[in-house]
Amino acid sequence: MGNTCVGPKLGAVWRGRGTEELPCVNFNGDKEAEQESSHGSAKATTATAAPAPEEPKAPLPVQSTPPEPVKITGEEHEPQPVESANPAKPDPKVEETKPEDPSKPRKPQHIKRVASAGLQVDSVLQRKTENLKEKYSLGRKLGQGQFGTTFYCLEKGSGKEYACKTIAKRKLTTDEDVEDVRREIQIMHHMAGHPNVISIKGAYEDAVAVHVVMELCAGGELFDRIIQRGHYTEKKAAELARVIVGVVEACHSLGVMHRDLKPENFLFVNQGEEASLKTIDFGLSVFFKPGACLACASRLGRKLVIAPCSFKTLVKTLSNLKVINVKGITTNGGKTE
């Protein structure tokens, strides 16, 4: 059956193949060379070539003399910096120190923060109140004062419109500021019922602010009305002055001194020409007793409307208001005290 290899040392016997040459490998793992065959089989001896001997390497030269001494001169050469292929980029987080400008005043190194008295007290109103947002919805901003901001206010139950003055407790830095807020609300209740004094609806307090809900005057300030008209006739100005003097008389009869009379603190109820005038902002007002001498530690109010001579005369303050009503200008310009 075909081609076979017999024995460990026997060559391959080719039958019916002619003169073809094929290699044969024995089972003992020895390699045999290719066999040449013409009409039968012939053995070939394997020849292994011996590796060529390596040439001996020459020995390294040995230094037999000492090295030459090196003379160090006095001049020292500074090492030159090596420019790297990728230069280091400046760190954007590290800010460069700029020289201080001697013309600018230096800021104090240690600033002591003053704790707000309005946040330290248990209650500014000294009583527990309802939650304002449960009864009212606050809307757009109507005005801005030194301590408070006035917002449009809508009563949820009845749908009536009011104004809400919100006073932030953090702005009440001293105990006097807290007392001023308490006194303002007390005076508004004390003056309630006068036709030309704004009426208070209620006062509420939460963790950050005091809210005073009062009558809404949609007609705007007297000062804006004067600017819009340009000037009033003397007859119309006299009518407005009569209203203002009547409010002052009512306050004094009840032992209240307003101390901040100015056109911005008088509001019209609506936009009509015959709208009634209301007095607002009793933040600087105080109670007084008849015959008592009031010594003010500081000058109160705006320089534009305070009496320009001694700041104490009510008549001159009212005369300033009348000049503003008639001419639309101020008497002293407010440039100096």
Tens digits of residue pLDDT in 76-106: 555 565 555 555 565 555 555 566 565 666 6
Domains 117-214 and 220-327 share a fold: no
Q: Average model confidence (pLDDT) for the chain?
A: 75
pLDDT, tens digit, 9 for 90 and up, residues 259-288: 889 999 999 999 998 999 999 999 999 999
Residues with active-site annotation:
260
pLDDT, tens digit, 9 for 90 and up, residues 204-233: 999 999 999 999 999 999 999 989 988 888
Q: What are the sequence ranges of the domains in the chain?
A: 117-214, 220-327
Q: Flag whether pLDDT at 317 surpasses 60.
A: no
Q: Residue type for 272, please?
A: G
Half-sphere exposure of 38 (CA within 13 A, CB side): 0
- Residue ranges at the known binding site: 169
Confidence class for position 170, pLDDT limits 50, 70, 90: very high
Q: Flag whether pLDDT at 331 surpasses 60.
A: no
Average pLDDT over residues 163-176: 95
pLDDT, tens digit, 9 for 90 and up, residues 44-68: 444 444 555 566 666 676 667 777 7
* DSSP labels, 39-100: SS--------PPPPPPPPPPPPPPP-SPPPPPPPPS--PPPPPPPPSSPPPPPTTSPPPPPP
pLDDT score at 185? 97
Question: Of 11-15, 108-112, 253-257, where does mean pLDDT reach its minimum?
Answer: 11-15
pLDDT score at 290? 81
Pick the more confident residue, 144 or 136: 136
CATH superfamily of the 220-327 domain: Transferase(Phosphotransferase) domain 1 (1.10.510.10)
pTM for this entry: 0.59
CATH number of 117-214: 3.30.200.20
Please, are residues 217 and 269 in contact by the beta-carbon 8 Å criterion?
A: yes
- Residue ranges at the known binding site for ATP: 169
